[in-house]
Amino acid sequence: MSALLSLPTPIADVPADPDAERVWLADVFAADALGAQYQLVRELGRGGMGVVVLARDLALHRVVAIKLMRRELALLEDERTRFQREARLMARLTHPSIVPVHAFGEVTLGAERVPYFVMRHVDGESLAERLRREGTLKGSEVRRILGELALALDYAHHEGVVHRDLKPENVLLERSSTGAGGRVILTDFGVAALPSYDAQPMPGFSMGTPQYMSPEQLVGEHAIDRRSDLYALGVLGFTLLTGRPPFGGRTLRELSARHLLQRVPALARLAPDAPTSLVAVIERCLAKDPAARFDSGRELHDALERGAGFDWKRWTSALRAAVI
């Protein structure tokens, strides 16, 4: 288990000086590479690899999201290559539930070279924001969100891409003018893997968010595939229904051991109002053995659809009432 301790501390955990960051962003957008076409509006968020801002495209009269590499990482050639690789991965994926990339470039600030890429702006909020506001979501909404994400993942997997970092922060909910649930959009492919390129990860080293990582991803000893993303989708579903991931821990070692060895807490008990069919789908996603999970995002989606048409909990309740 000692290998599990080699996960790096995310740079996102290191607080940045807000005033210095604002000045830096203003300097970046004053440079010709960006300033000639884009006008900075405001910061949208930041993660381990970059900061995302809202900007106006002055040439095409539209609002876009621009992800800039964090300045401390832009000094590292390996990280710059990884950032460009994320942009290329996203650019090759064309799906309604995956954020499209419009352009890639670099800004030169003295000795600094800051890579960036331009994406479609999703007018809405992250799933993490909604979860913080509401605590838990209804079963019907969880089923819809998981179903749309399952199809997005299925498409990415067929393109040879494993996301590896599915979590509420990387899921966007588009605002709907009709009041119905807006489109669910998957973003942030910063640690995504191409199995043909990343076939053998370094033993004992994993990338992702531990609370949402599959047992095989946490161990980092085997090449992971699409079923690792489906495990993360199960963790996401569990979290949306209960307000917390299935496993926690005071240390990475403790958290990893629980993912690897402990049984998943009884979801039906923690979310008694959730449809039985939905609970069954999520629990199958959370199987320790990848072979026991769904084989594909499409298969998972279809299981969710079948369950939506027939609620076992309602049927058994009605039957019990009729017998009594």
Q: What is the pLDDT of residues 238-286, one digit of tens each?
A: 999 999 999 988 888 888 889 988 899 999 999 999 999 999 999 999 9
Cα distance between residue 198 and residue 293, in whole Å: 22
Burial zone of 77 (CB within 10 Å; 0-12 exposed, 13-18 middle, 19+ buried): exposed
- Contact indicator for 66, 119 with CB cutoff of 8 Å: yes
Judged against a pLDDT cut of 60, whether residue 149 lies above it is answered with: yes
Sign (positive/negative) of CA torsion 285, 289, 292, 298?
positive
Give me 108's structure tokens. Answer: 């030169």
Judged against a pLDDT cut of 90, whether residue 108 lies above it is answered with: no
Mean pLDDT of the chain: 83
pLDDT of residue 308: 66
Query: For tokens 């309604």, what's the residue?
Result: 96
pLDDT of residue 8: 37
Judged against a pLDDT cut of 60, whether residue 289 lies above it is answered with: yes
Residue 188's pLDDT band (cuts 50, 70, 90): confident
On whether the 124-313 domain is CATH 3.40.640.10, my answer is no
Q: What is the mean pLDDT of residues 199-225?
A: 71
Tell which phi-psi region holds residue 193, choosing left (phi > 0), alpha (psi between -120 and 50) or beta.
Answer: beta
Cα distance between residue 322 and residue 255, in whole Å: 45
Residue 67 marked as a ligand binder: yes
Active-site entry in 154, 165, 188, 229: 165
Q: Where in the chain is the domain with CATH 1.10.510.10?
A: 124-313
Active site residue 165: yes
Q: Quick one: fold of 12-120?
A: Phosphorylase Kinase; domain 1 (3.30.200)
- Contact indicator for 30, 82 with CB cutoff of 8 Å: no
Residue 194's pLDDT band (cuts 50, 70, 90): low
pLDDT of residue 179: 58
* Percent of the chain clearing pLDDT 90 (strictly above): 51
pLDDT of residue 158: 94
Q: Where in the chain is the domain with CATH 3.30.200.20?
A: 12-120
Q: What is the mean pLDDT of residues 22-49?
A: 83
pLDDT of residue 11: 36
Higher pLDDT, 182 or 127: 127
pLDDT of residue 172: 95
Q: What is the mean pLDDT of residues 31-44?
A: 85
Judged against a pLDDT cut of 90, whether residue 201 lies above it is answered with: no
Per-residue b or e along 163-196, where b marks 16 or more CB atoms closer than 10 Å to that residue's CB: bbbbbbbbbbbeeeeeeeebebbbbbbbbbbeee
Q: What is the mean pLDDT of residues 277-299?
A: 96
Residue 219's pLDDT band (cuts 50, 70, 90): confident
Judged against a pLDDT cut of 80, whether residue 28 lies above it is answered with: yes
pTM of the model: 0.83
Q: What is the mean pLDDT of residues 108-132?
A: 90
Q: What is the pLDDT of residues 48-87, one digit of tens each?
A: 788 899 999 999 999 999 999 888 888 888 888 888 888 8
Cα distance between residue 206 and residue 228, in whole Å: 12
